[in-house]
Chains A and B, each alone.
Chain A
């Protein structure tokens, strides 16, 4: 048996579906026991990834679809967002995505700008795969599992 439940959404690459994806992910995250703040972080991070995919499809003049895959574990959520409309074999695609590199993903960073920065700040782990479109893979752990990294950077 898989160690996670898998939920996949396929939405038209249109901005009105960004909020739909965001609300669905919020609902899934609340069932794993994420805190209110973590769910808000997940809402922003997933919106940024879906927005990026929608804008990419739009700039290419395509009437594409965005696929959002969510793997729900007991203590974490993994979210994969692909702008090329193909369903993925979650594990296979996960193995292919590499760490994010500034130089290689320069174009994506410029387009995504603040959005990608927010994804990296709000999630525990982010990977980007740039082949046949862009796939963003991101992980967030339920609080208490891994809270050390970037959570406290804003204390004044």
Chain B
């Protein structure tokens, strides 16, 4: 029974819930946001699309809280790097806050921690 329903869902294309939530609010060229869930190959396009809506703005001051992110890999890094480059080119600034020690480590081992403005979560430590 379970076997057949699995085959069926494979044929029809199974729907798997997106485990990401992105909240962005912009006021007077200040972008505030928080991200919850997992940022991987499946969910990164959602985040990229939401951020792209603001990347052409001149002098945007963006601050994104990542304390709700419990998984991230290179696809997530790619999204943040692209957004960082875009708004930097327009004289803006991106700050990422609330990084868990895991996320902080990801930025550090890729060297991005030296380039981008990142801040570890209070009480969670940097290393």
Contact = CB atoms under 8 A, between A and B. Distances in A.
Interface of A: 12, 15-20, 22, 37, 40, 43-44, 47-48, 51, 54-55, 113-115, 117-118, 121, 153-156
Contact of B109 (A17, A20, A48, A154): A154
A18 B42 contact: yes
Interface in B59-88: 71, 73-75, 77-78
13 contacts: A15-B40, A16-B16, A19-B38, A20-B16, A22-B71, A44-B73, A48-B73, A51-B74, A54-B41, A113-B78, A114-B74, A118-B109, A154-B127
B106 interface: yes
Interface residues of B, number: 22
A48 B127 contact: no
A17 B40 CA distance: 11
A51 B75 contact: yes
Nearest to A155: B127
A16 B108 CA distance: 27
B101 to A, nearest CB: 9
B33 interface: no
A16 B42 contact: yes
Given A19-B42, A154-B127, A114 B10 contact: no
Contacts of B126: 156
Contact of A118 (B10, B16, B19, B74): B74
Contacts of A55: 41
Contacts of B75: 51, 115
